[in-house]
A and B are shown apart, each in its own frame.
Chain A
């Protein structure tokens, strides 16, 4: 099947301002497979949520918080960063494919950087999918 997998973006509502980039399905304009879920702070994102997204079939997950040091709630982005890196509990399960998770730390004004990174991530994920399906077909 040629169905493209989705990419879930878990974003702090104070980080890169994606509001103007959203269509009415809460996905990025021009990138219908990239969906956005907003949080009051990136520190609220549970590693569990990332696992759930991948398990439910998402191609990848982008976590986006504010610039490190600028968290409105002081240290939320450091918390989720350290959790992703396995330096702070709770972390990601071992089985999670680390290549499918990317974290960005962007200030409110950096939506362009978000767009370019997201675009690159989407193509990378598509490549990963292809590799995996050919590997599966070969075996």
Chain B
């Protein structure tokens, strides 16, 4: 299945896309808190997600990275935009890497049965 560096890169990119959209996008949508809406919080608490989210916000380096400059409100929205950028770029690069497989400069014809 995995045949070289390219496939590994594709897997890493796919994982990155998944992690960003499952962890970091919801986290920023909750404004860097673990405060899930009522109907969800029970489930998330059960898995410890809300605590994990709240803990994420204690990492200063991370917070510095995801906080836009010159903005006072809706900080989570901007971080969301950053994470969406990461997810979309990762998936786009992965798609391009996969699509590079087929030769776009040569067409050979299949034998007619």
A and B touch in the complex (CB under 8 A): yes
Chain A positions near chain B (C-beta within 8 angstroms)? 67-68, 81, 84-85, 92, 94, 96-99, 101-106, 110, 113, 117
Query: Among the listed A81, A99, A110, which residue makes an inter-chain contact with B107, where contact means beta carbons less than 8 Å apart?
Result: A81
Q: Report the minimal beta-carbon distance from B109 to chain A, rounded to whole angstroms.
A: 4
Chain B interface size, under 10 / 10 to 19 / 20 to 34 / 35 or more: under 10
Contact B110–A98 (Cβ < 8 Å) = yes
A98 lies within 8 A of B112 (CB): yes
Secondary structure dominating the interface of B: loop
Q: Mark B80-113, 1 if CB is under 8 A from A, else 0.
A: 0000000000000000000000001111111110
Q: Which residues of B does A touch, CB under 8 Å?
A: 104-112
Residues of A within 8 A of B107 (CB): 81, 84-85, 102-105
Task: Provide the bound-state CA to CA distance between A78 and B56, in Å.
Answer: 51
- The closest CB in chain B to the CB of A98 belongs to B109
CB closest chain-B residue, reference A114: B105
Name the one of A67, A81, A94 contacting B112, with C-beta atoms under 8 angstroms: A94
Contacts of B108 in A (CB 8 A): 102-103
Contact (Cβ within 8 A) A106 B105: yes
Question: Is there an interface contact between B105 and A67, defined as CB atoms closer than 8 Å?
Answer: yes
Cα–Cα distance between A81 and B104 once the two chains are bound (Å) = 11
Q: Show 9 A/B contacts (Cβ-Cβ < 8 Å), sorted by A.
A: A84-B109, A96-B112, A99-B109, A101-B109, A102-B106, A102-B109, A103-B108, A104-B106, A105-B107
Q: Which of B104, B106, B111 contacts A99 (CB 8 A)?
A: B111
Asked if A113 contacts B110 (CB within 8 A), the reply is no
Q: How far is the CA of A131 from the CA of B78 in the complex (A)?
A: 66
